[in-house]
Structure 1
Amino acid sequence: MARLICAAAAVLAACKTVSAQIYQFENVSLPEAKSLHTLYAFYVYSHQEAPERTLGQPFVKFHNLVSHSTDGSKTDVDLKDYSGIQLSILPYRNFWSLINPEKFCSSQEDVEAKNAETANVLLAQKPAGTPDADVNLYSHSVKFLGADGHPSDQQLPVHTTAVYILVFSNCGDFSGGQISGSVIVKNAYGFLPGNEYHKMPFYGWLSMFYTGMACVWMVLSLRYWRELFHIQYCITIVIFLGLVEAFLWWRFFEDWNNSGIRGRFIFVVAILASVVKSIFSYMLVLVASLGWGVTRPYLDQGTIVKVQALTFLYIVLDFVRESVLSFRHSHSLSMAFVMLCLLPVALLNGIIFYWIFTSLSSLMETLSERKQSEKLVLFQRLWKILIVALSLASLSLLFQLFDLSRSISVRWQYQWFFADGITHVLFCFVLIAIMVLWAPSTNGQRYAYKPVGDTETEKDSSSKAVDSSQVWADEGGLDDEEEDDSFWAAAHGKGPKADVIGNKEESS
């Protein structure tokens, strides 16, 4: 696990030098002579295909790029005519057709054949005399400047929708230097990469959806506040966490789109909100399936320790997973490394769902034996809802695995939905179903824990309903002022009420 934590730290550290559609060079060493390196991936929509066209033509800008000699034998002035250092972007799908790995640097013969303008620059495989822009290749030579020199910017329009690879090449014979400056790519709507853009409106609408759910739940809770019990309080927390998560991600993408910089602080906080919401939701369903507040007033110490350990482990591993997935499309992360970060969380999810379903099955058997038919029907419906959600999630995962066989240049425009969107849609579906099942109502306390000795034998639907406050008063000899703290006193084994419940459980 230590390796995974270090890996996440390394990925997050990348934010310092790579800010989304702005790739920053800060005294980066030059490549070796006659070498080429791929650095980053930019996702660009053409102006015609962009989801928004408010800012004009997409472009790539080579900004303040300059080389400095670190070789004592040659100064910047001595190297002012050196043109071998270049930064270029070119389409990923055409990379190997444009770049010949056996010969990617031009020679004098290429100049004479009109395949290149000068010698010792990046050579593209294209028809003689064809401009670089016609094959969507955009290059900039990074010069060495003297004491009075100033770097010149170059801005080039991008006309084709594609994934573009940033290439750092050195076709000369000198490598004792460093480079500073930045490469900026901007879409017609802002700085967000094309594969991330759709998340911004999605999380905006999701925030409004959670706000609507929160308002409905608050109205019901205020209306039936005397009937509330702990599971309904937990549902309130889940809705709040979902709202916080959606708002933070929306704010993160909005800021990224406007500034071109991936805000590290809000990025980390948004990931933490996602992880905490997920594990809190899982644990809510788990403890309900274990019978907490349904067939028992509290969980035993051993179960609590297991839940706490599982929660801590999940938060650490899922934070690593979310961090890595956020960078997998732009950075050259190996498939083995990505799988190393995904598998532990997948295994934990399997353990959690297995525990939930086995506990839920046992709970339904207990409720059936006790003839608590209303509670049994509720958890049978919960079982069906979880089965449907798990089935849909499995189908989505299978499609993603199948889709991996397709080129990223084909699937990058819609992949966000299967990686992020469908997860939130399924989560909202399950949350709404749980809200309906446990919605505050006049007789909401019938789903709460009751000692076995006092459990009602349910009558047919035509029997007359009894006021819930009277039921509770009859069961424990409690008045309304005492009922709020009876559960917690019993749960912690304190006070005379704990003794009453303990005696009743022993007698059962």
Structure 2
Amino acid sequence: MASSPSSPLLLTFVSSINASIHLYDHQGFREVGNSYLLSGGSEGIVASSTPGTAISHAHSFIRFENITFWRSKEAADQHSDMGHSTGLIQVVIFEAADRDNIGGSAYGGQRSICCTPDLAKLEGCKQGEVIRIPSATDINWPIVLNVQFSGKSLSTSMANSEVPITKTGMYNLFFISCDPKLKGLVMNGKTLWKNPDGYLPGRMAPLMKFYVYMSLAYVLLCVTWFFQYMRFWKDILQLQHCITVVIALGLFEMILWYFEFENFNRTGTRPVGITTWVVTVGAVRRTVSRLLILSVSMGYGVMRPTLGGLTSKVLLLGITYFVATELLDITEYVGTINDVSGRARLFLVLPDAFLDAFLILWIFTSLSKTLEQLQAKRSSVKLDTYRKFSNSLAVAVIASVVWIGYEVYFKATDPFNERWQSAWIITAFWDILAFGLLCVICYLWAPSQSSQRYAYSDEKGEEFDDEETQSLTRGKPEGDISLAKQDNLEDEEEEDKRE
């Protein structure tokens, strides 16, 4: 390349590695500016415990194991067998705050990673090596370790070593060569990145405890719902069966996430099969939850026994949403360890966001129509329930839009992921919001002794679209009563609703 990127741009070349035990299997170096570079990973690491404390044995480090570099035969043949140093590779570790301490600039031009003849005169760096400026807080950082080829050897190995981390921060690892003769370098081996509490990356670590609390919250909701469910099981509606499925999926997902993170933290590996399974359960839960909200908005289980001709459209939307969510979550979680989001996610998030927007539009359109029908029929009990549901849904949508704005701001103002310690809140918010909305639905449509009796009590006399009328004329649900008895049941309905 003719031009050289600025030093901070090193951070944009971080790639997704397999696990917290980062594996390098014949990975090739890329030409970046005036260097050849391979990203070894990027993670938030908490500083080691203070010696002498009760947990002083827990320490943070980046460990190098079985690192081997291979060069081409053409590159090796350019040297003699007697040469002691015939090719230099430098291992660079730096904290994100010290990103400007790697590289330099001559005459105000673009920054170079490697020392050039001009920079050697201006800054006193050694030509052919990475430019390193000592950190203002610790002159030993950034860390630069040298690995050299000798003679005509095709490979060289790095001694197994460990770099202790004594300062909390976002750390980046790069393998860099400034020798133009080493074009085509490849590398094997692994690095281990460890926090005091385990191998879980700093950004993900708080989520493990969060999933414990979410699991407990779902257990409490599940016990409460199951008690009502069994108490009035003879009067359970199809809608309440659907709510039960969503609660079960939510509890199952939170438990699976906890055990996936616990295994990751303990072993340092993240099996693709296990993570894919967890992600799939989450995608199913989100899809079913959204279809449940859409169905409730259409009056399913309260004003109508089926969705009729709209069923196929709802199912098609659900399948499409599941596929989009599954692809997005696989990109986000499967095989990913670094505390830097992959670029592919930016592309996959667009169809997911579009489908969410379409769902919200359809939900509120259906909800508006349902409210109009209830108001025209003067069904005060159901109208009050749907108004509460509508208000709750509006609050959730407003909160979502505000949070999306905050998330965009958070990421835009933190390009180098220096606020990684609070990044877990971005993920946690959506689970909390989904749980809150589920609790509202459970409260509004809780099982009671008269669920079947008044579910479709106002069904006759309503005017539906032709497509919807066809489904409602196929049969009369159990417990239906005539409009002539409605006046006598108003007070009783109010009492049932309060239960």
Q: What is the letter of the counterpart of residue 405 of structure 2? A: L
Confirm or deny: 8 A CA contact 2:102 2:130 kept in the other structure. no
Whole-angstrom CA distance in 2 between matches of 1:95 and 1:399: 26
Question: Alpha-carbon deviation of 1:409?
Answer: 4.0
Confirm or deny: 8 A CA contact 1:71 1:177 kept in the other structure. no
Alignment of 1:95-106 (within 5 A): 95-100=99-104, 102-105=111-114
Confirm or deny: 8 A CA contact 2:76 2:154 kept in the other structure. no
Q: 1:124 and 2:123 equivalent?
A: no
Confirm or deny: 8 A CA contact 1:289 1:360 kept in the other structure. yes
Whole-angstrom CA distance in 2 between matches of 1:318 and 1:365: 33
Alignment of 1:252-331 (within 5 A): 252-301=260-309, 303-326=310-333, 327=336, 330=339
| Corresponding residue of 1:343 | 350
Distance of aligned partners of 1:226 and 1:155 in 2 relative to their CA distance in 1, 3 Å threshold: same
SS at match of 1:199: helix
Of 338-347 and 452-461, deviating more is 452-461
| Corresponding residue of 2:473 | none
Whole-angstrom CA distance in 2 between matches of 1:83 and 1:272: 47
Alignment RMSD, CA only?
Answer: 3.5
Distance of aligned partners of 1:460 and 1:397 in 2 relative to their CA distance in 1, 3 Å threshold: same
Alignment of 1:174-323 (within 5 A): 174-301=182-309, 303-323=310-330
| Corresponding residue of 2:47 | 46
Question: Alpha-carbon deviation of 1:153?
Answer: 0.5
Whole-angstrom CA distance in 2 between matches of 1:188 and 1:73: 42
SS at match of 2:23: strand
Q: 1:139 and 2:138 equivalent?
A: no
Unmatched tracts of structure 1, length 5 or more = 1-13, 469-508
Question: Alpha-carbon deviation of 1:382?
Answer: 0.7
Confirm or deny: 8 A CA contact 2:93 2:142 kept in the other structure. yes
| Corresponding residue of 2:478 | none
SS at match of 1:74: helix
Tell me the TM-score normalised to structure 1 length.
0.77
Match of 2:486 among 457, 479, 485: 457
Confirm or deny: 8 A CA contact 1:35 1:171 kept in the other structure. yes
Question: Alpha-carbon deviation of 1:197?
Answer: 0.7
Q: What is the letter of the counterpart of residue 177 of structure 2? A: N
Q: What is the letter of the counterpart of residue 70 of structure 1? A: S
Alignment of 1:274-423 (within 5 A): 274-301=282-309, 303-326=310-333, 327=336, 330=339, 333-334=342-343, 337-407=344-414, 408-417=416-425, 419-423=426-430
| Corresponding residue of 1:22 | 21
Confirm or deny: 8 A CA contact 2:70 2:156 kept in the other structure. no
Confirm or deny: 8 A CA contact 1:47 1:53 kept in the other structure. no
Confirm or deny: 8 A CA contact 1:88 1:138 kept in the other structure. yes
Deviations 1:261-301 (A, max 9, x none): 12211211121111111110111111121122322222223
Confirm or deny: 8 A CA contact 2:75 2:182 kept in the other structure. no
Q: 1:430 and 2:419 equivalent?
A: no
Question: Alpha-carbon deviation of 1:140?
Answer: 3.0
Confirm or deny: 8 A CA contact 2:87 2:182 kept in the other structure. no
Question: Alpha-carbon deviation of 1:211?
Answer: 1.6
Of 285-294 and 381-390, deviating more is 285-294
SS at match of 1:452: coil
Q: 1:58 and 2:60 equivalent?
A: yes
Distance of aligned partners of 1:413 and 1:99 in 2 relative to their CA distance in 1, 3 Å threshold: same
Of 370-379 and 105-114, deviating more is 105-114
Whole-angstrom CA distance in 1 between matches of 2:133 and 2:188: 29
Confirm or deny: 8 A CA contact 1:245 1:270 kept in the other structure. yes
Confirm or deny: 8 A CA contact 2:72 2:154 kept in the other structure. no
Question: Alpha-carbon deviation of 1:176?
Answer: 4.7
Deviations 1:330-357 (A, max 9, x none): 45744xx543322221111111111111
Distance of aligned partners of 1:30 and 1:322 in 2 relative to their CA distance in 1, 3 Å threshold: closer
Question: Alpha-carbon deviation of 1:373?
Answer: 2.0
Of 240-249 and 171-180, deviating more is 171-180
SS at match of 2:302: coil
Q: What is the letter of the counterpart of residue 26 of structure 1? A: D
Tell me the TM-score normalised to structure 2 length.
0.79
Of 344-353 and 445-454, deviating more is 445-454
Confirm or deny: 8 A CA contact 1:248 1:266 kept in the other structure. no
| Corresponding residue of 1:167 | 174
Whole-angstrom CA distance in 2 between matches of 1:177 and 1:167: 14
Distance of aligned partners of 1:162 and 1:465 in 2 relative to their CA distance in 1, 3 Å threshold: closer
Question: Alpha-carbon deviation of 1:310?
Answer: 0.8
Whole-angstrom CA distance in 2 between matches of 1:384 and 1:29: 55
Q: What is the letter of the counterpart of residue 84 of structure 1? A: L
Question: Alpha-carbon deviation of 1:465?
Answer: 9.0
Whole-angstrom CA distance in 2 between matches of 1:446 and 1:277: 30
| Corresponding residue of 1:93 | 97
Q: What is the letter of the counterpart of residue 25 of structure 2? A: E
Confirm or deny: 8 A CA contact 1:238 1:281 kept in the other structure. yes
Question: Alpha-carbon deviation of 1:370?
Answer: 2.5
Question: Alpha-carbon deviation of 1:385?
Answer: 1.0
Distance of aligned partners of 1:53 and 1:36 in 2 relative to their CA distance in 1, 3 Å threshold: farther
| Corresponding residue of 1:441 | 448
SS at match of 2:76: coil
Question: Alpha-carbon deviation of 1:198?
Answer: 0.7
- Number of residues paired by the alignment? 443
Whole-angstrom CA distance in 2 between matches of 1:368 and 1:113: 80
Unmatched tracts of structure 2, length 5 or more = 1-14, 106-110, 462-481
Distance of aligned partners of 1:297 and 1:395 in 2 relative to their CA distance in 1, 3 Å threshold: same
Confirm or deny: 8 A CA contact 1:66 1:144 kept in the other structure. no
Distance of aligned partners of 1:155 and 1:297 in 2 relative to their CA distance in 1, 3 Å threshold: same
Distance of aligned partners of 1:424 and 1:77 in 2 relative to their CA distance in 1, 3 Å threshold: farther
Question: Alpha-carbon deviation of 1:151?
Answer: 4.8
Confirm or deny: 8 A CA contact 2:93 2:172 kept in the other structure. yes
| Corresponding residue of 2:161 | 154
| Corresponding residue of 2:76 | 74
Question: Alpha-carbon deviation of 1:429?
Answer: 1.0
Question: Alpha-carbon deviation of 1:38?
Answer: 5.8
Confirm or deny: 8 A CA contact 2:20 2:200 kept in the other structure. yes
Whole-angstrom CA distance in 2 between matches of 1:294 and 1:144: 76
| Corresponding residue of 1:9 | none
Identity percentage of aligned residues: 25
